[in-house]
Amino acid sequence: MLEGLPAGFSLSREALQADLDRRRRGYGRGGRMRIEGDTLEVLAGLRGGMTIGSPLLLQVKNADHWTEAMDAWNPAPAGSERAVTRPRPGHADLAGAYKYGTRDARDVLERASARSTVARVAAGGACKQLLLEMGVRLVGHVLSIGEERADPDRSDLAALAQDAEASEVRCADVEASARMVAAIKAAQRVGDSLGGVLEVIAAGVPPGLGGASEWDVRLDGRLAQAVMSIQGIKGVEIGLGFSAAGLPGSRVHDPILYGDGRLLRPTNHAGGIEGGMSNGEPVVVRAAMKPIPTLARPLPSVDLVTKQPADAAVERTDSCVVPAAAVVAEAAVAFVLLDALLDKVGGDSRAETLRNLRGYLEQVRDL
């Protein structure tokens, strides 16, 4: 359920479905993607393809219930009722068992599953459509998988998006994309998994979104929390991010120039955010994703019931989900940016919201 969308914005169910389909793709995905169709239903908040101001209610039904068809993925020992007593290193299993006082981590791991990102992609897809009408475009793509790194051309955002979508691993660098696929295949052969780095670029973000007055309104903080909360993400940076810590200020901060009747920035090391507020440059967010913790050749663990050494449990799994995570991160960034933009300009209808936005942008241009 997505609340707060102004009335009168066009919202395409087909575009929402396309985002869900994008999330399912990517070299390295596992068996669940062959099971789940992720068919979207719009239950409320839309009439004639237009938002009506009430909450938007979206539903995607899971096809994967524990049925006999799933026995090939995770055979259940007699009397186990599919208990998970051998926690997987790197997953929520053991921490959740501690938290809820149980030796069976089944309920923990199912709720912690990245399956929940289906809902985030659906909601974020709606946010992306509204942002596009307000002049903001987002592109998510992959910069690295394992040790293979890309160096894509970011000068043309439309071309970057097109090249990324044409890649099996959502990488806009053709040569790097081929190397990434080969790296995933090599990991699969030995029962291992790979992580990587993804990037989301949002162009056309108006300046002044967010705030510096309180910690919880800072745009960079809100973006970091949203992206960091995606399953498997272990690090988030904006602009130069961690590399800025090793550089002198003269090579980090973006000069302010004036030309053609407007203020200009020759660089965007800040990633579009200064002092917790957008500065009018593209917002650039990168995230580091760890390798999937369920391994075909499991790591050592301990059975929580017997306390004996045992291999970790093996669930259905992927070998690499970085391409899918780029789609999820797009959605997370879109949600935060639309929330911040509506905080700034308000409006209960499309006409009111766009009028307020135009007025604010005119004020910015006159600065």
Q: What pLDDT does 126 receive?
A: 97
Q: What is the DSSP letter of 56?
A: B
- Note whether 109 and 96 are within 8 A (CB): yes
Encoding tokens for residue 146? 């394992």
Q: What pLDDT does 79 receive?
A: 44
Q: What pLDDT does 34 receive?
A: 61
Q: What pLDDT does 37 receive?
A: 77
What is each CA distance from 176 to 141, 164, 183, in whole angstroms? 12, 11, 10
Q: How far is CA 291 from the centre of its chain?
A: 16
Which residue type sits at 285?
A: V
Encoding tokens for residue 156? 């043309």
Q: What is the DSSP letter of 2?
A: B
Q: What pLDDT does 63 receive?
A: 77
In this structure, the chain runs to a length of: 367
- Note whether 281 and 266 are within 8 A (CB): no
pLDDT along the chain (367 residues), means of 10: 96 95 84 72 96 96 62 48 88 95 92 91 97 97 98 94 96 97 95 96 98 96 98 97 97 95 94 98 98 91 96 86 96 98 97 98 91
For the segment 253-290, what is each residue's pLDDT rounded down to a tens digit? 999 999 988 899 999 999 999 999 999 999 999 999 99
Q: What pLDDT does 78 receive?
A: 43
- Note whether 157 and 33 are within 8 A (CB): no
Axis crossing angle, helix 219-228 with helix 322-345, rounded to the nearest 10: 150
Q: What pLDDT does 33 receive?
A: 56
For residues 191 and 318, give the distance between their C-alpha atoms in angstroms, rounded to a whole number.
10
Domains and CATH numbers, the chain: 13-365 (3.60.150.10)
Q: Which residues are within 8 A (CB) of 29 and not within 5 positions of it... i.e. 6 or more apart?
A: 318, 320, 321, 324
For residues 201 and 330, give the distance between their C-alpha atoms in angstroms, rounded to a whole number.
8
For residues 84 and 139, give the distance between their C-alpha atoms in angstroms, rounded to a whole number.
38
Q: What pLDDT does 32 receive?
A: 57
- Note whether 103 and 310 are within 8 A (CB): no
pTM of the model: 0.92
- Note whether 153 and 115 are within 8 A (CB): no
- CA torsion sign for 126, 132, 133, 135 is positive
For the segment 28-82, what is each residue's pLDDT rounded down to a tens digit? 876 555 667 789 999 999 999 999 999 999 999 987 655 444 445 455 444 445 7
Q: What pLDDT does 64 receive?
A: 63
Q: How many CA atoms lie within 13 A of 107 on its CB side?
A: 8
